[in-house]
Amino acid sequence: REVMIDSTATRIRARLRLSEPDPAREKWPGWAGGRRTLARAGALLFGGGGLIGLLALLLPSPPGLDEVGVVATSLVAFAVALALLAAGHRLPAWAVPIIAATGTALVTSGIAFGGEGASVRGYFYLWVVAYAAYFLPWRWAVAQVLLIGVALAAVLAVKDDSAPLLTWMVSFGTAVFFALLIGLLRLRIREMIARLHEVASTDSLTGLSNRRSFLDLFDHELERARRGERSLSLAIADLDYFKRVNDTLGHEAGDNVLCGVAACLRDERRSSDVVARLGGEEFALVMAESDAHQALVATERLRERLRERLRGQMSDASVPLTVSFGIASFPTHGGTAEQLMHAADRALFAAKALGRDRSVIHSPQVDTILAASVPFDASEAAR
């Protein structure tokens, strides 16, 4: 079940990452959906409303029906729908509240031109309410609902309605309830998406960022360093002899050790540093504005803190447990995340080959160390 949830969350998160940043989202924190989605949804509403308005003319005409007015209203709705489809992702954010208000105006016109019993066309207001309550920020959605109340009151005041006040109360009350319902649904959906995003980006055992999330964060920090022409260092940590902990004390003890290491890294890092669990007993630390030697000082301090914590946590002193670090820096050891990860991995293997419980900066000597360390290999380093 957990695998299915994680897989679903990962797919949704991947879909979210495919969309380009939308300026409308940045301007309005409560914005829902990209510009193209807003345009298509609006086109569907206007096009559908215009079509139903024209089809209604095929029914027996009620007294007072202004066919020209109804046709004109429907044609305007079609025009707005086509304009929205043409705008697509270029739809400006400021235009969306105006579009919703235009929908309210067209529904009001339909009631005014519809003759007797045309108040039934007020159900079209619910289309506008659904659009506003789901897609727009709350303040704009509330403004649209209030506008509908004013517009409906105005048209009923000039229409020959047998019970205008009752019609207004029922119609406006329904619109308010519908807006609240859609709004609550929207909040629920956002909570579910946030939860799925958290599941997809967080390591369930330690609470740190997982490998997938780390790679995204690492790319982001690397791009910031590249734009600002600043240094950045990556340190990959691996617990020495961790397999012995699982074999001797059990997997529960191993999980407790991993949680303790994660807590120590989280507590000791700077606020600007990124910490993640890459998998197994391997962790990563991205240090912004730090060159290789600054990173070495930081990892040595962390190594001492971790040694103290692990010594206090381990009930069996016969099981040694230390930490090795491999360090690579931008731009010295690579210009991409892949290059830096490879360099830090090689440095970590060198730290293991040199006896573990140390920090090693990637350098040309690393390959020499690894080549001379026979029968050392990567599988041995992981133990």
Q: Please tell me the predicted confidence (pLDDT) of residue 290.
A: 93
Contact yes or no for 199/241 (Cβ under 8 A): no
- Written as six digits, the tokens of 353 are 């080959």
Residue 205 covered by a domain: no
Over residues 301-359, the pLDDT tens digits come to: 999 999 888 887 766 656 678 899 999 999 999 999 999 999 999 999 999 999 899 99
The pLDDT of residue 25 is 45
Query: Above 50 in pLDDT, residue 367?
Result: yes
Measured from the Cβ of residue 285, the count of other Cβ atoms closer than 10 Å reads: 26
% of the chain beyond a pLDDT of 90: 52
Q: Could you give the angle at which helices 211-228 and 337-353 cross, rounded to 10 degrees?
A: 110
Q: Among 200, 225, 252, which residue terminates a domain?
A: 200
Tell me which amino acid residue 366 is.
Answer: V
- pLDDT tens track for 41-71: 999 999 999 999 999 899 888 888 899 999 9
Task: Say if residue 18 is in the same domain as residue 151.
Answer: yes
Domain that holds residue 295: 211-381
- Give yes or no: residues 81 and 192 share one domain: yes
Q: What is the mean pLDDT of residues 135-158?
A: 91
Looking at the domain assignment, is residue 206 inside a domain? no
Predicted local distance difference test score (pLDDT) of residue 32: 60
- Confidence band, pLDDT 50/70/90 cuts, at residue 76: very high
Same domain flag for 146 and 238: no
Residue 91, in any domain of the structure: yes
Residue 276: DSSP 8-state: E
Q: What are the φ/ψ torsions at residue 335 (nearest 5 degrees)?
A: -110, -5
The verdict on 255 and 139 lying in the same domain is no
Same domain, 279 and 187: no
Q: Is the model more confident about 211 or about 382? A: 211
DSSP string covering 290-327: --HHHHHHHHHHHHHHHHHHHHHH-S-TTS--EEEEEE
Please check whether residues 228 and 354 belong to one and the same domain: yes
Report the number of secondary-structure helices (H) and strands (E) in the chain: 15, 5
Largest distance between two CA atoms of the chain: 99
Asked whether residue 184 falls in the same domain as residue 261, the answer is: no
More confident residue, 13 or 217: 217
**Coil, strand, or helix at residue 280?**
coil
Asked if residue 307 is part of any domain, the answer here is yes
CATH number at residue 311: 3.30.70.270
Q: In this structure, are 188 and 248 located in the same domain?
A: no
Quote the pTM value. 0.62
Does residue 309 share a domain with residue 233?
yes
pLDDT at 19 exceeding the cut of 50: no
249 and 194 belong to one structural domain: no
DSSP state, residue 34: -
Confidence of residue 31 (pLDDT cuts 50, 70, 90): low
Do 125 and 163 sit in the same domain of this protein?
yes
The DSSP bridge partners found for residue 360 are 326
Give the residue from 200, 224, 239 where a domain finishes.
200
Rounded mean pLDDT, 190-214? 88
- Please tell me whether residues 191 and 245 are part of one structural domain: no
pLDDT band (50, 70, 90) for residue 181: very high
**C-beta contacts of 216-221 below 8 A and 24+ residues apart:** 216/17, 217/274, 217/276, 217/286, 218/274, 218/284, 218/286, 218/337, 219/337, 221/274, 221/286, 221/288
Residue 8 pLDDT > 80, yes or no? no
Query: Looking at the predicted structure, is the pLDDT value of residue 15 above 80?
Result: no
Alpha carbon distance 230, 237 (integer Å): 23
Tokens linked to 346: 């090689």
pLDDT digits (tens, 9 = 90+) for 227-266: 988 999 999 999 998 888 888 888 888 899 999 999 999 9
Domain total in the chain: 2
What is the DSSP code string of 200-234? Answer: HHB-TTT-SB-HHHHHHHHHHHHHHHHHHT--EEE
**Mean pLDDT on 193-210:** 88
Give the type of residue at 183. G
pLDDT at 177 over 60: yes
Residue 200 banded pLDDT, cuts 50, 70, 90: confident
Which of 294, 309, 286, 292 minimizes the C-alpha distance to 237?
A: 286
Residue where one domain finishes, among candidates 180, 200, 220: 200
Comparing 249 with 382, which gets the higher pLDDT?
249
The pLDDT, as a whole number, for residue 6 is 47
Q: Is pLDDT of 12 > 60?
A: no
The answer to whether position 66 is within a domain reads yes
Q: List the structure tokens of 62.
A: 């009620």
Average model confidence (pLDDT) across the chain: 85
Separation of alpha carbons 353 and 347, rounded Å: 10
Neighbour count for residue 208 (Cβ, 10 Å) = 23
